[in-house]
Amino acid sequence: QVQLVESGGGLVQAGGSLRLSCAVHGRTVSGYDMGWFRQAPGKEREFVAAISWNGGSTYYADSVKGRFTISRDNANNMVHLQMNSLKPEDTAVYYCAAKPQSRLDMTARYAYNYWGQGTQVTVSS
């Protein structure tokens, strides 16, 4: 079965950086749109960033635009999220997700078929 495994989370001070990685097992990343979502305690899971199957298009939530960068490494079946200038409000569990190519909104949770277990990101002030 398809499995997505996130890594790279941790505890950092405000203004610091982290690079999250998502390894895909059981299939190739090629041909799938990939996204990152996050969920803070007591809140719903929200869209963070996405990248199209060919890497030609990227999408970002307004709250992270200019600070986060999503990229994909199809040769290694991985997707990354570079997070710079981190803020305490970025604290959440971050999830990697895979979306079969379709007309569904790439920022919507329901568009994604596969999800990782999540990795905790904590930003201290």
Distance between CA atoms of residues 11 and 2, nearest Å? 29
Tell me the pLDDT tens digit for each residue of 11-26: 999 999 999 999 998 8
Question: Is the pLDDT at 29 greater than 90, yes or no?
Answer: no
**Residue 46, SS3 per DSSP:** strand
**φ, ψ for residue 120, nearest 5 deg:** -80, 130
Tell me the pLDDT tens digit for each residue of 58-115: 999 999 999 999 999 988 889 999 999 999 999 999 999 999 888 899 999 999 999 9
User: Which DSSP symbol is given to 49?
Assistant: E
Spatial CA neighbour of 3 closest among 19, 21, 31, 23: 23
Distance between CA atoms of residues 19 and 90, nearest Å? 13
**CB of 91 closer than 8 Å to CB of 122:** yes
